[in-house]
Structure 1
Amino acid sequence: MKHTTNYINTFIEVADDCPVSQAETPPEKKIKTLAELQYEQIIKNPYRYTSDDIIFECYALKNNIPESEKEQARMQFFSKGQPCLRCSPLSKRYGFGSHHNEEGKVALFPVESNEYQKFLNDPAVEKVKAMRSKKI
C-alpha cells in the first residue's frame, strides 16, 4: 500500500503556538535545514509540486540520493506513512500557511497576508491547523 501526504483543496493554517505574527524566511545555515529546503522548493515553484513531491525531494536531498535511484527510493519511502506538511516548520515556526489546490499542488502564504485571510474565510476550502510544537 502506498501512503500519501497530499491534501486536496485544503489550507493548512499556522499552528496555534506559532511564535510569529508575521512570516519569517527560514535562516540560512551551512547545511540546509528542512525548513530551508521546503521553503525554497515551494516559494520558487508555487502550485508546481504536491506535498509528496516536496517531502520526498527534501528527504532525497538530505540523504544524497542520486537521481538514478530516486524512483525506487520514493516507492520505499512511501511504503510507510510519513509526516505531512502539517508538521512542517514553515507552519509551526515560521508563519506560513500552505494551500493545496484541487490537484494537490502547494503554495505558501504568509500569515499576515490578505491571501491567507481569504483562504480562512473561503467556505469551499477545507481548513486544518499545523501541528503544535508543544503539548498542552
Structure 2
Amino acid sequence: MDLNYYDTLIAVADDCPTAGAVVPAPRGGRKTVAVVQYELLAEHPGELTQEDVLFETWLRRRDEPEPDPAERARLRAEFFARPQACLRASPLPKKYGWGLLFDGAGRVSLCPAGSAEYDRLVAGDVPGVTVLKAMRSRRA
C-alpha cells in the first residue's frame, strides 16, 4: 500500500500558533518528533518520501544503534504493518509553520509559511498541485 502524497502541499494548520516558519528545538535534552523530521527534510530536500520520513523518525527516536540493512528492512516492514498517521499530523505544519511540498514522485521538501512559493501554492496559482490543510491541534 502506498502512503505517499504526490503533487501536494500540506499547508499549515488553521490553528498553528506561529505566524511564520520556526525551527523546532529539542526538549529536555532529547530530540522531539518535530526536530527529527525537520533535520531529515532540511538535510535531504526533495529526496525522501512520506514513508521514508515516518520510518526514519521512528527509527532515530528509538535510541538504539543503526540496524544492518536486513534488520532495517525487517523493521520497516514491521513498522508499516501497523496503521501510521500521515504527515498531515506532523508537528511541522501543525505547530511550527512549515508547509510540506510533495513533488510528482512523492518526494517531500519544506516550504516555509509566508514565503513567496508557499503563498502562490496556497492561493492555487500553481496548476496541478493539490493543497491539503494539516490537521488542527484542537477541535474547531
- What residue is the counterpart of 1:26 in the other structure? 24
Q: How many residues align?
A: 134
- Structure 2: gaps (5+ residues): none
Which SS does the other structure have where 2:51 is aligned?
helix
Q: Is the 8 A contact 1:5 1:82 kept in 2?
A: no
Which SS does the other structure have where 1:37 is aligned?
helix
Letter in 2 for 1:44: E
- Structure 1: gaps (5+ residues): none
Note if 1:131 corresponds to 2:135. Answer: yes
TM superposition shift of 1:65: 6.0
- What residue is the counterpart of 2:105 in the other structure? 103
Q: TM-score, normalised by structure 1?
A: 0.93
Percent same amino acid at aligned positions?
39
- What residue is the counterpart of 1:37 in the other structure? 36
Which SS does the other structure have where 1:47 is aligned?
coil
Which SS does the other structure have where 2:99 is aligned?
strand
Letter in 1 for 2:10: I
Q: Which runs of 4+ in 1 moved over 4 A?
A: none
Q: Is the 8 A contact 1:92 1:131 kept in 2?
A: yes
Note if 1:66 corresponds to 2:70. Answer: no
Distance across 2 between alignment mates of 1:107 and 1:66: 24
Structure 1 window deviating more from structure 2 (58-67 vs 37-46): it is 58-67
Which SS does the other structure have where 1:7 is aligned?
coil
Which SS does the other structure have where 2:109 is aligned?
strand
Deviations 1:83-134 (Å, cap 9, x if unpaired)?
A: 1110000000000000010010000011010110122222310111100000
Q: Is the 8 A contact 2:25 2:31 kept in 1?
A: no
Which SS does the other structure have where 1:67 is aligned?
coil
